[in-house]
Structure 1
Amino acid sequence: MGAWGYKPFDNDTAADFAGDLDDAPQSERIEMLRAALAAVADDVSSHVDGGGAEIAIAAAALTVQKVDGGEEFQSEVCGPSGELPEIPKDLVFLALTAVSRLLLKDNDLWDDWSRGGDGEEWLAMLQRLKLVLGKKSAASQESLW
């Protein structure tokens, strides 16, 4: 695990994903986030590998980038430096689903972080991210009515 901290972009995989987002045309960035989140949220039949989980957490953090409380999950150093298009409402729900799945413990990151170090901080960060995603998702649902 090439991690140096418990926050969404404090690992090599997420930092590389941020670089890939910056290198991609603006028109492809939302679909890159969607693919990262769907890889975790949609495949409930198997154990989630660490790299996929790290990218999904980074993608989830980006869906709340401009939301009250979402600033905690951003990185000025390793996060993407390019602008993201407006985040579609369904992407926030997909992010919430992915993070909720990771909290079920069937993934390599849970296994790695539960062995010590900053494991409690990592878990608390993931729970806070779920809370912010839940608030954003609920607000998005209310605006539909």
Structure 2
Amino acid sequence: MGTWDTGHFDNDTAADFSNRLDEAAEADREGILRQALLLAINTEGYLDSDIAAEAVAAAALVAAQSPGGEPVTTVYGPTHPMPQFSSDLRDLAIRALDRAVIRPSELLALWGEEDRGGPWREGIRQLRDRLNGPGEHRPA
């Protein structure tokens, strides 16, 4: 995976995921996000970095629609507007983020060093906080 920064879309896999969303019909976009989240959640054993990177990008798009969420403005994110997502995607996004940061996860291993992975881990934590919403406390 080519990675150029710590943002949720700052890698080839997430940028390709954004392109796939842009190429899909608007009615199909939620299903694509749901599929990416569920694939990460349901992966037992080793979690491939591409699956995890897509799940993180999908979670960022769901978080953008959560209370206090910020729009995805990176040039590597989707350029077409996203439909209003079903509320159950928030829980799926949290679960997918949680799966991406537990072993065995290739993405976690790639960001494993605290000095290198600190900003990436902080970004994941912030996403998770947005998905939880204000005043909600779900265990990590």
TM-score (norm 2): 0.88
Q: Which runs of 5+ in 2 are unaligned?
A: none
Residues 19 and 117 from structure 1, CA distance in 2 versus in 1: closer, same or farther, beyond 3 angstroms? farther
1:27 maps to a residue whose letter is: A
Q: Mean Cα displacement is larger for which, 32-41 or 61-70? A: 61-70
Q: 2:127 and 2:73 mapped to 1: Cα distance?
A: 14
Q: 1:132 and 1:34 mapped to 2: Cα distance?
A: 18
Counterpart for residue 5 of structure 1: 5
Which protein is richer in helix relative to its size? 1
Q: 2:125 and 2:114 mapped to 1: Cα distance?
A: 18
Q: 1:78 and 1:21 mapped to 2: Cα distance?
A: 12
Contact 1:36/1:56 (8 A) holds in 2: yes
Counterpart for residue 35 of structure 1: 35
SS of alignment partner, residue 118 of structure 1: helix
Q: Give the ranges of 4+ consecutive aligned residues of structure 1 lying more than 6 Å apart after TM superposition.
A: none
SS of alignment partner, residue 120 of structure 2: helix
SS of alignment partner, residue 133 of structure 2: helix
Q: 1:117 and 1:15 mapped to 2: Cα distance?
A: 25
Counterpart for residue 125 of structure 1: 123
Deviations 1:25-59, CA, capped at 9 Å, x for gaps: 0110000000000001123x221100000000000
Residues 70 and 106 from structure 1, CA distance in 2 versus in 1: closer, same or farther, beyond 3 angstroms? farther
Contact 1:61/1:70 (8 A) holds in 2: no
Q: 1:20 and 1:48 mapped to 2: Cα distance?
A: 21
Counterpart for residue 48 of structure 1: 47
Q: 1:66 and 1:95 mapped to 2: Cα distance?
A: 12
Q: 2:31 and 2:65 mapped to 1: Cα distance?
A: 18
Q: 2:18 and 2:67 mapped to 1: Cα distance?
A: 21
Could you tell me the percent identity over the aligned residues? Answer: 35
Q: 1:102 and 1:54 mapped to 2: Cα distance?
A: 8
Residues 90 and 103 from structure 1, CA distance in 2 versus in 1: closer, same or farther, beyond 3 angstroms? same
TM-score (norm 1): 0.85
Q: Which runs of 5+ in 1 are unaligned?
A: 139-145
